Structure 1
Amino acid sequence: MFTPTFPFAWIVAMAHSAEYLANLYEGLGSLQNDFRNFNLLRLVAGCVRGERVLDIGCGSGGLLSLLQQQGHSTSGVEPNADLVSLANTLHPELRIVQGTGADLDRVTGLFDTITIIDVLEHIEDDREQLRRIWDRLVPGGQLVVLVPAFPLLYGERDRNNGHFRRYTSRELIGKLREIGFEPRRQRYWNALGFLPYVISGRLLHRKLNTELRTNRPKNWFQKMTIRLFHAWFREVENRLSFGFGLSFLCVAEKPRTAAESKKIEVEQRCAA
């Protein structure tokens, strides 16, 4: 029978891990068999609007493939050459170029929606990245951004994953408004993993067990647990916001006109 290797390991499996991602890409070639990312992609896809969509840091193309099935015209940028090759094998119909968020000139045209999921924290000058995104959006276009939340949780795991920071909601929204974006929707996500992450990752300093997230259960207990997690994320996390969570999601809009942008700027000064 499955036995957790340390307290809360069976729940902390929901947390993001670079080592886990590498193993999963090698073993499955897709994130869609992972209950965390399977449901996260559907949450993000529900925020997308318009025809043309760009995903920055698109990995093996899971989100782009889902969006294309929904009728969007998609493009992706991914810095890892192996993941670009894997994406081209898994999804040959997708347009994915190798590059970072600084290489958006490698994709042509403007976009109705740009997504940047679990990426902005890897970029030292995140304001400059947000400016680049602004330049590639049509007036009225939107940015969908997901980042790790709560700076107090920042630790060795973040450093090992190449994170420069975790965000407060105020910090991310403030930076978006500095550029000119108007946040329209925001919420925390992955509340279920929050307390176990704090206890196991920050207090006990234990390595996170991500075995469950491969969705290759070895016994009935793992099968039941994975099904419960899928149901939780699908029916609860993706429908409700608890005011806390391991991640913070924001949908922000680029104003349609200069006058609208000026109005937002004045309102922000008055509210300060």
Structure 2
Amino acid sequence: MDVELYDTIHRVEATHWWYVGRRAVVFDTLTRVLADYERPRVLDLGCGTGFNLEAARTLGVPDGVGVDLSIRALSFCRERGLRRLVRGDAAAPPFCDAMFDIVLALDVIEHVEDDRAALGELLRVLRPGGRLIVFTPAFQFLWSVQDRVSHHYRRYTATELRTKLSDAGYVVDKVSYANMLLFPVVLAGRLALRISGRDRRVSSENDLHPTGSNSVLARIFSAERPLLRRWNLPFGVSLLAVAAKPL
């Protein structure tokens, strides 16, 4: 990821509709997963600026571990008072076997060239019965400037993600599309950027902060929580998966 992008993320992630909505959806899932463990050890893989680790304290995760390859990202984590930090590669997390009960990989695996090997490494550091929560971009036709500046290798379909998790040795609990309600808006916006040529001039979609509608978009994205509890959604801008290491 371009190092300047961490500065942008740090500036907007508390309020930008996409980050607000993703937190709502992921933390709703995390809350239900946490209920299965007593004092779980949690790893935030590709922890970025540490916002999610800091926010997870409200869910009863006071000492989650963050790992990121970016020195700039880890400096933002330290500014938040986070101390359990490790500089390391998501493709080869520098931890012993069976260290964690829960691993969060939120918009991470698309950054890794050999995602199959990375999923195998995450299985290794999970304890038996531990859970992996994945959030990742969906549908290659949604490829945009954000994928380019974030150094993504791919976007996924639900079938592809489920297959890769199963092949890596996980028991797959859930694979669902997410950000379904805003899918038409995102698709139209990306097509407009592509047709107008602005996708070559915009440095990041995070710079496109729709101040007038931001709170509305955040509420719409967040409103998917009860839907995701009951169903696997048929399409969306992203994918949400929960998978377990066999006992």
- Structure 2 partner of 1:265: none
Unaligned runs of at least 5 residues, structure 2? none
Q: Return the match for 1:228 from 205, 216, 225.
A: 216
Partner of residue 237 from structure 1, selected from 191, 212, 224? 224
CA contact (8 A) 1:97 1:106 kept: no
1:254 and 2:245 correspond: yes
Counterpart for residue 76 of structure 1: 66
For the residues of structure 1 that align with 2:215 and 2:189, how far apart are their CA atoms?
Answer: 23
Summarize deviations over 1:99-143 as a string: whole Å, max 9, x none. 211342257861111010111011010010001000111111010
| Alignment size in residue pairs | 227
The CA distance in 1 between the partners of 2:208 and 2:96, in whole Å, is: 36
Say if 1:111 and 1:80 are closer, same or farther in 2 by CA, change over 3 A.
Answer: same
State the partner residue of 1:41.
23
Q: Which residue of 2 aligns with 1:186?
A: 175
1:110 aligns with 2:99: yes
Give yes or no for the alignment of 1:23 onto 2:8. yes
Residues 153-162 or 187-196, more deviating:
153-162
Structure 1 unmatched ranges of 5 or more: 1-16, 257-272
Cα distance change on mapping 1:40 and 1:172 into 2, 3 Å: same
Describe the superposition over 1:51-109 as per-residue Cα deviations: whole angstroms up to 9, x where unpaired.
Answer: 1110111011111112223222310101110110111012x244111221134225786
Per-residue deviation, 1:192: 3.6
Aligned counterparts of 2:83 and 2:98: Cα–Cα separation in 1: 16
CA shift digits 1:13-48 (9 cap, x unpaired): xxxx997654242xx3x6222222123123222323
Contact kept in structure 2, 1:18 and 1:161, CA below 8 Å: no
Letter in 1 for 2:43: L
Counterpart in the other structure of 1:61: 50
Residue 47 of structure 1 aligns to a residue whose secondary structure is helix
Q: Which amino acid aligns with 1:116?
A: A
Aligned partner letter, 1:255: P
User: Any residues of structure 2 matched to 1:72-151 within 5 Å, and which?
Assistant: 72=61, 73-90=63-80, 92-106=81-95, 110-151=99-140
RMSD across aligned positions (CA): 2.6
The 1-side partners of 2:124 and 2:236 are apart by 30
The equivalent of 2:158 in structure 1 is 169
Write the distance in 1 (CA, Å) between the matches of 2:186 and 2:58.
Answer: 34
Normalising by structure 1, report the TM-score. 0.74
The higher radius of gyration belongs to 1
Separation in structure 2 between the aligned mates of residue 18 and residue 34 of structure 1, nearest angstrom? 19
Paired letter, 2:128: P
Deviations 1:194-223 (A, max 9, x none): 223333324650336545648xx4xxxx2x
Whether the 8 Å contact between 1:39 and 1:238 is mirrored in structure 2 is no
TM-score by length of 2: 0.81
Q: What SS does structure 2 have at the residue aligned with 1:239?
A: helix
Note if contact 2:138-2:239 (Cα within 8 Å) is conserved in structure 1: yes
Q: Percent identity?
A: 31
CA distances 1:159-192 after superposition (whole Å, capped 9, x unpaired) = 3431111111111100110111111122211124
Aligned to 1:263: none
Residue type of the alignment partner of 2:49 = S
2:177 partner amino acid? Y
Cα distance in 2 for residues equivalent to 1:238 and 1:189: 9
Shift of 1:147: 1.1
